[in-house]
Structures are given as structure tokens and as C-alpha cells.
Structure 1
Amino acid sequence: MSKEMKEKLKKQLEGIKAVDIMSKYAITIKEDEKIMKLAHLMMRFKISGVPVVKDNGEICGIVTSTDLLNIMKKITSDIQNYAEIEDFADMNATAFMTKDVVTITEETNLFEIMKIMCEKNVHTLPVMVIEDKEISGVIGKRDILNAFYGFPKV
């Protein structure tokens, strides 16, 4: 790709803001939510990550499908008996969430979002409203692919 084409593409990507492509109805969970309910939410809504919030709405972590798969790997290699599976079902979000959450604002452009996702190796980004620090949406890898390749949201 020529330098001119790269610059043109970069400029186009910089013109698309997070608020334009995010899923506006962010599903969140509380810290004490059980893993089974979380897994069901992710499957039902076909999402790959869910922000974890405190009672006051402040984000304190995120759980992704990768986190769930890593837990499955750990328990299947360590399970000694059925009781351990039951203990697993009682785990809450704080036991397996990622605490250092990478977030963006509604004004973050698509070029920066793609750069953040690639550099930080994350696939789900909570979108924050700057003024009140609330989650206004979520951007997942599917949103990025739809925006980049020009597919309409489904």
C-alpha cells in the first residue's frame, strides 16, 4: 500500500468515533455475580466481554470469553471430584475478572481504537463518558471489523 493510501485510510479511520460504532446498551455485571450467570449472559447476547461494576456504577474489572476459557482450562486440569465443579459454579466475578481495564472515551477515533486493541491485546473495550465516568457502551472486535470493512451492524 502506498504512503498516500495509508494516509488516506488513517484519515478516514480518524473520522470515525467510538460513539459511532459502539454497542450502546452495555451489559454490565456486579462484582458478586456468579460465573454461570455471566456465561449465560455472554452466550445469550453473543458478546465476548462484560464490564464488572461496583454498586456505585464505577468500573472495577472486565470478564471476557478468554477469561472464561482460561478458567475452564484450569479447572479441567485440577478437578479431583464433582464437589470442585460445584465450588466453581459458586465463584463470583471478582475471582476471575481482569482488574486493569483498558477503556476509551466516546471521542476516541477508530484508528486509535484499533491501535489500542492490537498493542494491548484486548478484544473488548468499555467506552466511558468523561464527565461522569459512566460506561456508555462497549466496543468489541466484531464492531471494529464491521466498521473497518464497511459491513452494516446486525
Structure 2
Amino acid sequence: MRIASIMTKRVVTVQMDDTLRSINAIFCSAKFNHLLVLEDGELVGIISDRDLLKATSPFLGTAAERPQDASRWERKAHQIMTRDLITTHPHASIKDAVELLLRNSISCLPVLTEEGHVEGIVTWKDLIRTYMGLQGEATLECCNCGTIL
């Protein structure tokens, strides 16, 4: 089985100078955990929801919020993104993708064409969902919102 058959083709991208405020709004409105960062149409980084969490203050929106906490929202994507990307291609095997994720302790792989254009993304959830399907197991639904996990 190949990555092309399980990858998510709908990816959301941001630009290098997008603010953390706008990135947070994207994460809040969508049900995914990774944003790809593009510059002139080329993939240059990735931001996970965990990256955003680490870059913001736990005091935001609380009575303890300080001016310096709120100013963190104005930081830019390029200031928190991961630059050393590990990617895969649509024709890679699922086994190869699993090995890359485990060897590098990462949670997703951007999927690029031979020309380097973003074609999709594959996450550990995609791989587990595929494994469950191959085992004949039913898919799991989130108990809170019914989202297929």
C-alpha cells in the first residue's frame, strides 16, 4: 500500500510572516494538528499545535495575563516553525512512512511531488486508521464530537 492512498490531500498552509494569532485561529476552526509553512510556493517549515502551545503564554485570556503575554500573538510563523523537514512522496510505502515517523520521533510527514510541490500530508493517525482498516477493525469515533479518529 502506498502513501498516496491514505494521505490527506486537503492541507492548510500559512506564510512565513503570518502571526501566531492567525495561526491560532486556524487551529481553533479546523480539526487538524499541523500547518505547512510556504514561501513563494515552496515548503519551508511546519508548525504543529504543540509548537503553538509552547510559543504562547499559559496566562493568555486569564486574569493573570500581562502585556508581554499578549504580545506573543504578534510573533511570526518563521519564529516557531520546524525548518529541518522530513518528507515523503506519494509512491512511498506505508512501512517506510512508519519507519520515518518512529526513527525521527515526529507525528507527520508532508507528502511532496518529485518537483517538490506539496501534495498532501500523512500523520500517525492516518497510519493507525489504515492499520485498523486492514485488521478489519471498526473505526473509532471521538466521544465528544463524533469525529472519526
Asked whether the two chains share a fold, i.e. TM above 0.5, the reply is yes
User: Contact 1:105–1:129 (CA<8 Å) still a contact in 2?
Assistant: yes
Q: Partners in 2 of 1:42 and 1:18 — Cα distance?
A: 24
Match of 2:129 among 136, 146, 149: 146
Match of 2:47 among 50, 63, 75: 63
User: Match for residue 80 of structure 2?
Assistant: 96
Residue 113 of structure 2 aligns with an amino acid whose one-letter code is V
Structure 2 counterparts to residues 44-83 of structure 1, below 5 A: 44-54=29-39, 56-72=40-56, 75-76=57-58, 82-83=66-67
Structure 1, unaligned runs of 5 or more = 1-15
The secondary structure found in structure 2 opposite 1:104 is coil
Q: Partners in 2 of 1:43 and 1:107 — Cα distance?
A: 32
Q: Quick check: which one's helix share is greater? A: 1
Structure 2, unaligned runs of 5 or more = 140-146
**Cα displacement string for residues 29-88 of structure 1 (whole angstroms, at most 9, x for unaligned residues):** 11011112212212322111111010x21111100122122224xx449xx962112210
Larger RCO (alpha carbons 8 Å, 6+ apart)? 1
**Cα displacement string for residues 80-137 of structure 1 (whole angstroms, at most 9, x for unaligned residues):** 962112210101101100110111001111001011111101112110011x211000
Q: Partners in 2 of 1:65 and 1:71 — Cα distance?
A: 10
User: Match for residue 29 of structure 1?
Assistant: 14
Misfit runs of 4+, over 6 Å: none
| Number of residue pairs matched by the alignment | 133
User: Contact 2:2–2:94 (CA<8 Å) still a contact in 1?
Assistant: yes
Output the aligned Cα RMSD: 2.1
User: Match for residue 134 of structure 1?
Assistant: 117
- TM-score, normalized by length of structure 2? 0.81
User: Match for residue 8 of structure 1?
Assistant: none
